Structure 1
């Protein structure tokens, strides 16, 4: 019986119970019927002459014979009704369970259209509702895991690309330093003058040290930003304090710097990381603005806008600006184009903090506009 499915098992159980009831009823009737006694006492008729006969009549043989003749037909009818009742009872009882089993089987195959369609209000209906809710949560969890998996894969690819770019970026000064030292050892040409070459070697090593520090800080920026504790920031005061040194740098280079704060805005963000991203944006705006041009910074309606007048970046180069160590065509060296990590750091911080931003060209006046949406 343990190996039978629920429908035949329920059918056999219910049929056995009904047949047992039928058998016991017939047995009791067969055993007790011959012992029944019939008392026959005719009543006196008023106004008529009558006879009163009193006696006992025990028709044991007659009753037993009649019972034996009726027993086969009675048993057949009762068995037929028992089978019929057991079948419909078992079918009605197990249909919901079989339907639930089919739905669960589809769910085990992760069929998103699978659903338990049981509308009853009993325990099976509650079970079907619980299974549907559980399956819905499972699908949501699987979807979230897929998204996390894709995000993790993207992060891993980004780390690999960053390390590849970093190794390529470090290769140039290391090669230059190695060549200079070899020429100094061999005493080739001007490299015989140690007093002139050693300061150059020292400058290269200092630049290497600075690059390595920047690369290490940038590589752990995403984790440190994610773990940073957000606090309530007065963006108006923060922006004014961050713009102050860049106003002096812009004046030194003959660049106009305008700051306009319309409203007092407060947000909850990690102040160190948010300040670092803003500083990189302001530094880029000042560095890439020619003499006589203008840098404008606005704070209005929960939005920070940084505009600088310059040659607009082409659509082909614009998607690559947020890649590590990328520099535009007009500034490919470190002396004029920085280390190529500024906008990569900005993108990493804002993406980790879920801060919307955009960087698009302007037509009138020509230049670039960086917009930060404060939520």
Structure 2
């Protein structure tokens, strides 16, 4: 069953139940309440009359009783008698020492002649009651004031109510039903709108939102759905970006393996040709001592390349959180690497200028050591004879400059970090290396989330700069 009809049936049931109970309470409680209010009114008025007559002269008492008698406010009949029970008022002459009071069917008061005793005749009702109060005149004589009153029966009104109750119930049922129907439609309209918007959200359209009206629970529900939809869309976008990133990495890996296979295949083919020539003593390959040395050099180059390939594979396997992060002195790491390169600078007649400040950073010490080693190796490999290499370190930056054999063009700089890329002038493996050094440097620095740059300076110098993250520099 739809929620609208559930709300309708529930609302009309509540209205019908409340109306029925209210009418039943009215039927049983109204007579009691009527008698209670009338009795309180009569007691209050009798008390006021008593206060007005007290300490007045007998003539004033009679005059006030006459006025009160014919007012007819609460239909109270007042009788004033002395302490012996003799009626003082109403008084009709000496010959009539006593009288009778007759209460008619409609509650009116009639004074009639009687014998020596007071007779009160009740007609049509047995609810006549009396109240008495002791008063005294201005001379201190005590009198007894009696008030006779009758409460009109309310049974006729109750009977009439009982007759019209069915009509009242039908009218309440119709009015309540119409009101409950429109209320149910209005209350479920917003729920339908939220449901429609939620179904449209399945299309992952960023523009679709639940309309928020008011400040009630449905408005809060619409707001929560909008927040949930926004969170899901953000998560989906992040997953799509992550999937695209993973796909890019997989493509890069596939390309890397393809290039690696090519780079390994060519030297192996050359090595196989040299060995075959030595086996069959063909031409120049008869000089085995020389070509064994050549084979060893080729194998050493391949071993270095394989080691670099393994390094790249390890970098892909571990994230920044999984690597060993520690606080260490970058100055000490550089000084340790410089022991070898200082000797190399003397051999190659290169001027090495070093300025190191103390710098403590948080990261992977071994990987940063590889970065320093590769950068220094590249600087020495591509610095011209009698050239200069500058190494500068402060708390935020590491700079390595060199007077290059040839300054790289913008196109070459855009490709220099690709695996196995070597500029045209360095295609010789003896001078150009394996082409993985700067690729490994980029992979490590990207994983450490440190920015870097490689650019031309003054038309003759190349400069590589690393900018350390201030949050991971320990001062």
Report what 1:42 is aligned to.
106
Post-superposition offset of 1:322: 0.5
* Structure 1: runs of 5+ lacking an equivalent: 31-39
Any conservation in 2 of the 1:360–1:370 contact (CA below 8 Å)?
yes
* Alignment-derived partner of residue 429 in structure 2: 334
Is structure 2 residue 117 aligned with structure 1 residue 53? no
User: Matches of 2:291 and 2:430 in 1, distance apart?
Assistant: 20
Distance in 2 of aligned mates of 1:252 and 1:195: 27
For residues 126 and 25 of structure 1, what CA distance do their matches in structure 2 show? 36
Which SS does the other structure have where 1:330 is aligned? Answer: helix
Quote the residue 1:356 is aligned against.
451
**CA contact 1:225–1:273 (8 Å) conserved in 2:** no
Correspondence for 1:33: none
Residues of 2 paired with 1:304 and 1:159: CA distance?
A: 30
Task: State the TM-score, normalized to the length of structure 1.
Answer: 0.81
Per-residue deviation, 1:225: 6.0
User: For residue 179 of structure 2, what is the aligned residue in structure 1?
Assistant: 85
How well do the aligned residues superpose, as a CA RMSD in angstroms? 3.6
CA offset digits 1:13-46 (Å, max 9, x no partner): 323443565578789999xxxxxxxxx9432436
- Cα offset for 1:214? 2.7
Contact 1:359–1:369, Cα closer than 8 Å, also in 2: yes
1:260 match: secondary structure: strand
Contact 1:44–1:52 (CA under 8 A) maintained in structure 2 = no
Aligned to 2:8: 11
SS in 2 for 1:298: strand
Question: Mean alpha-carbon deviation: is it higher for 197-206 or for 320-329?
Answer: 197-206
Query: 1:270 aligned to 354, 364, 382, which one?
Result: 364
- 1:163: which partner in 2? 257
Match of 1:204? 298
Please give the per-residue CA displacement for 1:253-274, whole angstroms capped at 9, x wherever unaligned. 111111123x432211111001
1:86 Cα offset (Å): 0.4
CA distance in 2, matches of 1:65, 1:44: 27
Seen in structure 2, the aligned counterparts of structure 1 residues 44 and 52 have a Cα distance that, compared at 3 Å, is: farther
Of the candidates 197, 202, 205, which is equivalent to residue 111 of structure 1?
205
Give the stretch that moved more between structures: 211-220 or 351-360.
211-220
- Check 1:203–1:312 CA distance in 2 against 1; reply closer, same or farther (3 A cut): closer
Taking a change above 3 Å as real, the CA distance of residues 58 and 327 of structure 1, as seen in their structure-2 partners, is closer
Distance (whole Å) between structure 2 residues aligned to residue 122 and residue 320 of structure 1: 60
SS of residue paired to 1:326: coil
Matched, 1:242 2:345: no
Higher helix share: 1
Match of 2:412 in 1: 317
2-structure distance, mates of 1:119, 1:22: 33
Deviation at 1:92, TM superposition (A): 4.6
| Inter-CA distance 358–65: structure 2 relative to 1 (3 Å threshold) | closer
Specify every segment of 5 or more residues in structure 2 that has no aligned partner in the other structure, as ranges.
28-103, 114-119, 127-152, 470-475
Structure number having the greater strand percentage: 2
Taking the aligned partners of 1:320 and 1:293, their CA distance within structure 2 comes to 25
CA contact (8 A) 2:350 2:389 kept: yes
Q: 2:198 aligned with 1:97, yes or no?
A: no
Residue deviations 1:95-143, cap 9 Å, x none?
A: 4433432343333332323444446555445444443443333233223
Structure 2 Cα separation of the partners of residues 65 and 138 of structure 1: 63
Q: Contact 2:16 / 2:169 at 8 angstroms: preserved in 1?
A: no
Larger Rg: 2
Match among 212, 216, 239 for residue 145 of structure 1? 239
Q: Count matched residues.
A: 361
Alignment of 1:216 with 2:319, yes or no, is no
